[in-house]
A = this chain, B = another copy of it.
């Protein structure tokens, strides 16, 4: 389970069952037995695929769903006619997804990452690696659009912070207003960074 690209079908069922339960009821409250039941597999299958138990499974959930989210956002951004319109589309797409899921589906790892940040070091590191991947990918795109690397990195961190904070406020308020407000600000920050 050290590679994002290869995953056995049973292991994949376990990962998606675990991701859903962690999201729905939290990491601490979710037992391996409930994950096995949700996946429709015997509990021994979890130990077979994840000898490190719940923590290894948690790391894998963060890695796989974090990479999936990054790929989705990159696809939307890169389909824009330019970086600014791509960022605008990404926030609009996030708002549409959050609304369509009745304010349930937002960032796949933020809830888990906040829950375990101070209590589970391997999972904390996995969330850091996922977020670092997002920050690096966006930094590269802002830099390529015409910006020094330092400003590009600070802007990328800010754009992703706007997205994560707006996900929180949108879910709490059951409204897309925060994602629209944050999207407008993200566009202004990126525009300023690349026109300086």
Contact = CB atoms under 8 A, between A and B. Distances in A.
Interface of A: 24-29, 102-104, 110-111, 113-115, 117-119, 124, 127-128, 131-132, 135, 153-155, 157-158, 160-166, 168-169, 171-174, 177-178, 181-182, 184-185, 188-189, 192
Nearest to A166: B161
Contact of A28 (B28, B153, B154, B184): B28
Given A165-B165, A188-B192, A153 B181 contact: yes
B169 A182 contact: no
B169 A157 contact: yes
B165 A181 contact: no
Considering residues A153, A162, A177, which has the most beta carbons from chain B within 10 angstroms of its beta carbon?
A162
Given A26-B26, A27-B26, A114-B111, A178 B165 contact: no
A17 B54 CA distance: 27
Contacts of A189: 185, 188-189
A165 B161 contact: yes
Contacts of A153: 181
How many identical subunits does the complex contain?
Answer: 2
Contacts of A178: 157, 161
A174 B177 CA distance: 30
A118 B104 contact: yes
B173 A161 contact: no
Nearest to A104: B118
Contact of A113 (B128, B155, B168, B174): B168
A90 B70 CA distance: 30
A123 to B, nearest CB: 10
